[in-house]
Amino acid sequence: MNAEDIAFLSALHQRQSFIEGELSPRDVLEAQLSRIEIYNYGEGTGVNALTEVMHEQARTAASAASDEYARHRRSSKRVLPDLLGITVATKEKHALAGKTHSQGLRALSGKIAESDHPIVARLRAAGAIIHARTTSPEFSCATVTHSPMWGTTRNPWNLQMSPGGSSGGAGAALAAGFCTLATASDIAGSTRIPAAFTGNVGYKAPYGRIPGAGYLSVDWYRGDGPMGRTVADVALMSSIISGKHPADTNSWGETGTALFREEKQLAQLRIGVSFDLGDYPVTSEVMRCIGNAINKFRAAGADIREIKIPWTTEQVRKTTFAHFGHILAPAMAEIIGDSSEPRAAYTDQFMKDALDQAETVSLIESLQLDAIMNAQLTEATTDVDVLLCPTNAMDWLLADGDYLDGLQVGSRKLTHYWEGHMTSPFNVANQRPVFSLPCGVGADNVPVGMQVVGQSWDETTTFGVAAALEQVIAFRERAVMTDAVGAIKA
């Protein structure tokens, strides 16, 4: 096995190899650190997915984990933590005690976290090696990942393109082989959008299933979660970080419960399909990749049912931005305060758009809009086990784009760039578990993602279905990299 293959091994494969002595955590960490040195850095030629790499701390942890596996082989009675020796890159917004907690804002560049975020604490307790931290747009409010503070994060599949956002650094790091697992967050698609653009698996859990931190975790659109390269890896990480936590009074459920028990039999499933969720202008390349996957599911025996949802992108934008205008945008304005530090143009535009919408839609009216979308989704999906739809309507976003004037998708000009992503409806319906699975490679060598939307609170079925669909799709492609200068083949 060469170093590249070692860097891309799944967490489950790594764990078994560590137990059997075929590999050690040191081997995997060094393979990934080597890729970071080659491919992460360089203006315009590097991925720039990481804000910080903790080399020595990680090497010490990897050595300790390697020794623990060696002791286990001598005495198998030892109980090993579930993620012992597995590398995880954490989004910078997920606080690490003693490290920066700026969320990409220069105004907060001096802020130091006093304690670990709940999911970080749980990852550490499970034996994970947190060796790197990943980039995001300012305040995680954009679907591209660039900022005055960290520069431009690029998609390993095509350096001209963005990995998406806001967990763009997480998606890019996984696609480049810099880590095995990554933390992400999702208030309107910030896990699923970059997972789709980078060929990874992203998961948005039902609200409160994974604990958050701070007063904004009370926002019912929000959630923190996992990103990985396989459903099984994401299930393992989810089981560790999920469950009730004293730092988040809205968190619920057990910790350590196996979320993935078995693949569902496709022949026994009723799968609803919506290619456009009403009127999203989906590109021909995205339609091709989604259509190919649907044909495979049908051939495997699934009962495919095309369903209609009466949403419009205008309705979704009005609903979500009224919500943001009453909660997120005022919080952003308060946190930024009167700072004169430079900000990304998309930050000010996001706050303006949200606050403007809140002026015309009261909080009560915003709740009514949420209720309407939820009722429409419930009615449309009553007779199916899961709903499938694209993750992104467009083929790609440019790495350094701002898209302040909206988005052109085919012949249609969208008022706002968020209307090009098909994720935020399921933050309005945030009781539903949702995956994004890679289902092909589309225009300009950028991957295409497909959402798997479960029924309310039903994680077990959704994980089982996602695992079955993953096997049928059989997505095996990787971003192709050169071996010396950090340039990545488009």
Provide the 3-class DSSP secondary structure of residue 346: helix
Q: Give 98: exposed, middle or buried? Use CB within 10 Å, 0-12, 13-18, 19+.
A: exposed
For residue 452, the Cα-to-chain-centroid distance in whole angstroms is: 14
The reply to whether 91 belongs to the active site is yes
Here the tokens at position 37 are 């040195």
The reply to whether 242 belongs to the active site is no
Q: How many CB atoms lie within 10 A of CB 68?
A: 17
Partners of 270 in beta bridges: 303
Catalytic residue among 140, 166, 238, 436: 166
CB 40 within 8 A of CB 49: yes
Here the tokens at position 41 are 């850095």
Q: How many CB atoms lie within 10 A of CB 358?
A: 21
Element (H, E) at 437: strand 434-441
The reply to whether 204 belongs to the active site is no
Catalytic residue among 24, 91, 93, 167: 91
Here the tokens at position 156 are 């390993």
Alpha carbon separation from 75 to 34, 85, 299 (Å, rounded): 33, 18, 48
C-alpha angle 472/390/458, rounded to 5°?
A: 70
DSSP 8-state class, residue 367: H
Catalytic residue among 136, 167, 190, 239: 190
Here the tokens at position 419 are 């209307």
* Angstrom distance (rounded) from CA 441 to CA 159: 15
Alpha carbon separation from 212 to 9, 103, 252, 433 (Å, rounded): 29, 15, 11, 16
Sign of CA dihedral 160, 165, 170, 174: negative
Q: Which residues are catalytic?
A: 91, 166, 190
